[in-house]
Amino acid sequence: MFNNKSILITGGTGSFGKKYVKTLLEQYSPKKIIIYSRDELKQYEMEQIFNEPCMRYFIGDVRDKERLTRAMRGVDFVIHAAALKHVPAAEYNPMECVKTNINGAENVIDAALDNNVEKVIALSTDKAANPINLYGATKLASDKIFVAANNISGGHRTTFSVVRYGNVVGSRGSVVPFFQKLIDNGSDHLPITHTDMTRFWITLQQGVDFVLKNFARMYGGEIFVPKIPSIKITDLATAMAPNLTQKIVGIRPGEKLHEVMCPAEICYTTYEFNDHFVIAPAIKFSSRSNDFTVNALDEKGKLVPEGFEYDSLNNDEFLSIKQIQSLNITAFL
């Protein structure tokens, strides 16, 4: 699907972008991979690792529509990964988060339409489902803008979908590197915000593979959610440091006890497939199919039961302490 194609990744120097590029180069022979982000140092460092002739490094901000439009010339597929995603920083600098995550989404859509890009996938997060912090709220707004963009693309071939998943194991600022640093520094305990807290568990490679697959599955308008296991935070702490005590420090502002990916309130538009869910658009498209029960790979889904919610507490699959230990967690850091 990506052979001899041009692919642009906004936020391509981030954790997702680098893994995505690595996977693309291993599995396909793209014509061009364009990395679009702001910081020249991150691009310089990435260029030391990925310097294949198909690689292009563009300095640019998703807030800058003109630059984005130029960067997307001749592009077939776009992955929109650029975001401000630090929850407390978003609360403190709300308009910066709005400008990047919401205005940036609009610019990506406009640039894709103007260049007749074939398919765009935007990355979302579980924090966008029933959001309680500004980061989540901006990502929900972004999701809605991408879904609705399928209605304004009349006359163009461009289709837009969203991929939503939970905390990536080992990603910057997440709990695994936080615990690991305390363990390495000889701490006598691990801080736990709440004994009942649960989280979804996905590796970067699983996230990348899911996005790749959804380019083939999508019609446009879907929010794709992978079926992934949950963990209890206390089990994670025990798995990483069985001999350390756990001290309860209290839940932090903007943090949920459990994360949601498919809220119960939208069960009427949520479809279950073999290894994922699809949240169908809340609006009807005027010029394309509104049937999301079968995807472009001919996989069939069924409407979830009334009241069904896909959240990290009521998940069918939980990793046990032994299973977490068998994963060699530090390899994800």
Ligand X SMILES: NC(=O)c1ccc[n+]([C@@H]2O[C@H](COP(=O)([O-])OP(=O)(O)OC[C@H]3O[C@@H](n4cnc5c(N)ncnc54)[C@H](OP(=O)(O)O)[C@@H]3O)[C@@H](O)[C@H]2O)c1
Residue 178's CB is within 10 A of a number of other CB atoms, namely 12
Please state the closest distance from residue 262 (CB atom) to ligand X, in A: 15
Please state the closest distance from residue 292 (CB atom) to ligand X, in A: 22
Of positions 100, 153, 198, 312, contacts ligand X by CB under 6 A: 100
- Comparison of 205 and 294: residue with beta carbon closer to ligand X: 205
Give per-residue burial for 263-288: e unless 16+ CB within 10 Å, then b: ebebbeebbbbeebbbbbbeeebeee
Phi first, then psi: what are they for 306, rounded to 5°? -55, 135
Please state the closest distance from residue 294 (CB atom) to ligand X, in A: 27
Of positions 153, 167, 234, 312, contacts ligand X by CB under 6 A: 167
Of positions 5, 7, 8, 13, contacts ligand X by CB under 6 A: 13
**Cα–Cα distance measured from residue 266 to residue 225, given in angstroms and rounded to the nearest whole number:** 14
- Which amino acid, one-letter code, is at 114? D
Question: Do residues 91 and 134 lie in contact, with contact meaning Cβ atoms separated by under 8 Å?
Answer: yes
Query: Which stretch in 12-20, 24-32, 112-120, 219-227 sits in contact with ligand X by CB under 6 A?
Result: 12-20
Of positions 5, 6, 16, 208, contacts ligand X by CB under 6 A: 16
Please state the closest distance from residue 126 (CB atom) to ligand X, in A: 7
**Cα–Cα distance measured from residue 6 to residue 73, given in angstroms and rounded to the nearest whole number:** 9
- Comparison of 13 and 234: residue with beta carbon closer to ligand X: 13
Handedness of CA 113, 115, 117, 120 (dihedral sign): negative
Size of the site for ligand X (CB under 6 A): 31
Task: Identify residues 246-265 at the interface with ligand X (CB under 6 A).
Answer: none
Q: How wide is the angle at C-alpha 118 spanned by C-alphas 117 and 124, nearest 5°?
A: 90
Of positions 65, 85, 119, 256, contacts ligand X by CB under 6 A: 85
- Comparison of 80 and 119: residue with beta carbon closer to ligand X: 80
Closest CA to 330 of 166, 177, 168: 177
What residues form DSSP beta bridges with 160? 120
- Comparison of 23 and 156: residue with beta carbon closer to ligand X: 23
Task: Identify residues 105-134 at the interface with ligand X (CB under 6 A).
Answer: 123, 125
Please report whether residue 312 would count as binding ligand X according to CB under 6 A.
no
> Reduced to 3 states, what is the DSSP secondary structure of residue 96?
helix
- Comparison of 19 and 194: residue with beta carbon closer to ligand X: 19
- Comparison of 206 and 246: residue with beta carbon closer to ligand X: 206
Can 119 be counted among the known catalytic residues?
no
Spell out the alpha helix ranges (H) of the chain: 15-27, 40-49, 65-71, 87-92, 94-98, 104-114, 134-152, 175-184, 204-217, 233-240, 321-325
Look-up of token digits 């939503």: 164
Annotated catalytic residue within 65, 127, 139, 256? 127
Position of minimal CB gap to ligand X? 14
Look-up of token digits 């600022």: 173
Task: Identify residues 23-82 at the interface with ligand X (CB under 6 A).
Answer: 37-39, 42, 61-63, 81-82
- Comparison of 51 and 243: residue with beta carbon closer to ligand X: 51
- Which amino acid, one-letter code, is at 177? P
**Cα–Cα distance measured from residue 11 to residue 211, given in angstroms and rounded to the nearest whole number:** 15
Which positions touch ligand X (CB under 6 A)?
10-17, 37-39, 42, 61-63, 81-85, 100, 104, 123, 125, 139, 165, 167-168, 171-172, 174
What amino acid positions are annotated as catalytic residues? 127
